[in-house]
Each structure stands twice: as structure tokens, then as C-alpha cells.
Amino acid sequence: MRGPCRLAAVGLSCSLGSRPGDVWGRLFDASAEPLSLRDDLVRGKSRHFAQVTDSLPEIPSGLERYGCRNNRIALRAYEAIRPAVDAAIERYGAHRVGVVAGSSTAGVAEAEAAVLEWRRSGTLPEGFDLLQLEYGGVSEFLSEVGGLGGPSYALSTACSTGAKALASARRLLDMNLCDAVVAGAVDSLCALTANGFEGLKALSPERTNPMSANRAGLNLGEGGALFLVTREPGGISLAGVGESSDAHHISAPDPAGVGAEASMQAALDDASISSEQIAYLNLHGTGTRQNDQMESIAVDRVFRASPPCSSTKPLLGHTLGAAGALEAALCWLMLENCVDGTMRVPPHRYDGIRDEGLPSLDLVGDGDMVAVEGATYVMSNSFGFGGSNCTLILRSDG
């Protein structure tokens, strides 16, 4: 029987900062400029990217084989939850604290540099290790850093990775394999991914413009978020998880939104609530024509009336495997910062010119607030390549 699943602590690092308070403030700052124009990732072209600009910690001595930017971003996120993890170790024992951490890039940027050096000199750079490139490197690294002895494994399901990591953490608790789990995902920018999305004609030459008639694609970003997931009651909990696989195409979603609809409905059923109880919906909202069309169609079918919703990718960029964890972290901050029955929700940043061919969604404007009372539920969508979909519902009892 499923027990409570508390998201007891959160740490994150992204284009808006690496401290929850900073991220929360910049989320609503219309003057914030989280995107950078770079010409070093896509050959011959300048594109906008959302990158981590805060200083990152060095890899601890003895763990140099894990030395890559991806793991340094993970370490920055982990620092915020380390006290809660240490307390869990003290309470349950290190063998009862697990790790589920995912990525879609891992240390590809370091591998790119290593290949270039090998082609130039015939030798690999000192300090390069294939472990930096492995998807499992993030989870292994976090286990080593935290001294965690519980189950430790990686996920890589494209853009649903971070959300699915939280779902997997809940399963480890349900199966009594762990008493606490560090769960989340991290992704860093690299030329391989940037050129791949450029080849798919999915990168926007301008700032991403989700749900607009003028939308032209996405901006890539980097960052990560990690949660400590426990069985303790109270606080902010993972109330519902929905997963589906429409397997329509290797990179394009089902245009009818069948998989997205199934994912959202499954999350509602898992949480034992109706769609009317969702106070806010964080859209996958990539700004590509295919995603925005299918997602708005699916939302229109699941909800009798659209809840307040927005895409936060114009601020975070599309962080790929990390997106589900990072956007869940933003939802956690929304619930954590509710004051006097009011929840502040992030505005939908776009040019304001709606695509009249899409179902009308209640897109959040600057300064919009949501009145809440009692149990409050927020939903977050993550839809990945190959139709790998995951929807999370977070709950706060106020």
C-alpha cells in the first residue's frame, strides 16, 4: 500500500541562479535576462542558450574521475539538500538512502574536447575518464559524495528524465528498498545536442515564444534539480504520477496529444483528484509548433476549463533531461511560498500574440495570483522524444 511521499528538501542550479531565493525572485523579474547569445555551439550560427552563470564547486579530491561540468552542476544542487541527506543517514543509515539521478548529456562536452585533443595530438587530455560520459556517472558521483549506500542508478528518457526520477524514487520507498532517496536530473550544454536540435530545425533563431502564432522553436538550457524524497507525512508531497508512451515517432509527438492526455489523466487518477482541483499547470511548452499544438489539444481535453498555466522555458531554456526535475522544483517553490491563501505563479513569457488555431489556455500574466485554500495541487508536464511522457502532481496542505 502506498504511503506518503514527501519532497522534503530541494536544491537546484539553473540560468536563474543556484539559491532557491534567487531563483524565486528572478522567476518574476521582467527585466531578468537569463539567455545568452552564443556562436560556439552551433557551427556557423548564433543561438540563444540559458546557461548556469553562478560559480560551480570543484569536484572533491579523490573523485576526479567524475570531473565534468554536469557533475559540478549536480554538486551545486546537492549542496542545498546535503544537511537533510545527512540527517536521513543519521536516522536510517547510509544503506537505506538511495539515489536516482538522470541526464541526457552527462559529460558529452568533455568528450567533445577530448576527441578534438586526440585528433590534434594523438592523446587524450589528462584527467579525461569515460565515466564522465556515462549516464550512470551522475548517480554514482552523488552516492560517492554523500556516502550513500542504498540503491543507486540512472535514468535517461530524454525530456521526461527528471520527472521519471521522482516517480522511481517513490517506487523505491513503496517497495521498502529505501527510507529516503536523492532524486532528480542534471544536464549541461554541449555542441552535440545543440547541433542535433539545429539539424531537426527545432532551435529558434530568436527567444523561444511558446503558444504564440510566431513561435519558431526552442532555446536549449542547462541546469539541474535534486530532491530528498522521504516517507514522512506533511510538507510538500508527490501526490500523483502519470506515465505514458505514445511511441508515435523518434522525435515528434503524437499530433493528437494522445500520450500527453493519458499522462495527465493517469496523474490525476493516481492522486485521486479531479482536474478542477489543479491550481496551476506548468506546461512542457517548448515553443515548437508540434509540441505546443499537441499539448494545448491534450490540456483542452483533460480540463473542462483551463487552469492557470505557463511555460517557464523562456527563462530556464529547455534543459532536456533536467527539465522535469527543474520545473517540479519551481512548483515546489510556488507551494512553499504560498502566503495568506494566495499562490504566486510564474507568468507565461511570450509576445502575447496567441495562435488562434490552438485551443485557448489560461496563460498566466504578469502579477497574476491564484487563491488557494486547504490542499493545493499543481501539475507539471514533461514530454520526451519517442513519446516518453511523465506528469507530476505536487500537493501542499498549507
pLDDT by 10s per residue, the chain, length 398: 566 799 999 999 999 999 999 999 999 998 888 899 999 999 999 999 999 999 999 999 999 999 999 999 999 999 999 999 999 999 999 999 999 999 999 999 999 999 999 999 999 999 999 999 888 999 999 999 999 999 999 999 999 999 999 999 999 999 999 999 999 999 999 999 999 999 999 999 999 999 999 999 999 999 999 999 999 988 999 999 999 998 878 777 888 899 999 999 999 999 999 999 999 999 999 999 999 999 999 999 999 899 999 999 999 999 999 999 999 999 999 999 999 999 999 999 999 999 999 999 999 999 999 999 999 999 999 999 878 999 999 999 97
DSSP state of 177: S
Q: Specify whether 144 is located in the same domain as 202.
A: yes
Q: Specify whether 310 is located in the same domain as 217.
A: no
DSSP state of 212: B
Between the alpha carbon of residue 294 and those of residues 103, 157, 168, 261, the distances in Å are: 25, 20, 26, 9
- Three-state secondary-structure class, residue 221: strand
Domain that holds residue 293: 236-396
Query: Residue 60 CA to chain centroid, in angstroms?
Result: 25
Residue 378 inside a domain? The answer is yes
CATH code assigned at 381: 3.40.47.10
The last residue of a domain, from among 182, 199, 230: 230
Query: What is the C-alpha to C-alpha distance for residues 186 and 161, in angstroms, rounded to an integer?
Result: 9
Q: How many CB atoms lie within 10 A of CB 125?
A: 12
The last residue of a domain, from among 204, 230, 256: 230
DSSP 63-125: -GGG-SHHHHHHHHHHHHHHHHHHHHHHHH-GGGEEEEEE-SSTTHHHHHHHHHHHHHHSSPP
Total domain count, the chain: 2
Print burial letters for 23-56: b (CB count within 10 Å at least 16), e (below 16).
bbebbeeeeeebbeebeebbeeeebbbbbbeeeb
Q: Specify whether 246 is located in the same domain as 319.
A: yes
Query: What is the C-alpha to C-alpha distance for residues 376 and 398, in angstroms, rounded to an integer?
Result: 7
Query: What is the C-alpha to C-alpha distance for residues 122 and 115, in angstroms, rounded to an integer?
Result: 9
- Count Cα neighbours of 175 within 13 Å in the Cβ-side half-sphere: 10
Burial of 94 (0-12, 13-18, 19+ CB in 10 A): middle
What is the SS3 assignment for 193-210? HHHHHHHCCCECCCCCCC
Q: Specify whether 225 is located in the same domain as 265.
A: no
Q: Specify whether 303 is located in the same domain as 226.
A: no
Active-site positions read 159, 284, 318
Residue 138 inside a domain? The answer is yes
- Using left for φ > 0, alpha for ψ between -120 and 50, and beta otherwise, residue 90 falls in alpha
- Three-state secondary-structure class, residue 370: strand
Query: What is the C-alpha to C-alpha distance for residues 213 and 209, in angstroms, rounded to an integer?
Result: 9
Query: What is the C-alpha to C-alpha distance for residues 331 and 6, in angstroms, rounded to an integer?
Result: 14
Q: Specify whether 83 is located in the same domain as 148.
A: yes
The last residue of a domain, from among 230, 254, 289: 230
Residue 1 inside a domain? The answer is no
Residue 57 inside a domain? The answer is yes
CB 104 within 8 A of CB 320: yes
Q: Specify whether 215 is located in the same domain as 327.
A: no
Q: Specify whether 86 is located in the same domain as 19.
A: yes
Q: Specify whether 242 is located in the same domain as 381.
A: yes
Phi, psi of 5 (to 5 degrees): -135, 95
Q: Specify whether 136 is located in the same domain as 198.
A: yes
Query: What is the C-alpha to C-alpha distance for residues 379 and 174, in angstroms, rounded to an integer?
Result: 22
Q: Specify whether 41 is located in the same domain as 189.
A: yes
Q: Tell me, what's the pLDDT at 3? A: 63
Q: Specify whether 310 is located in the same domain as 372.
A: yes
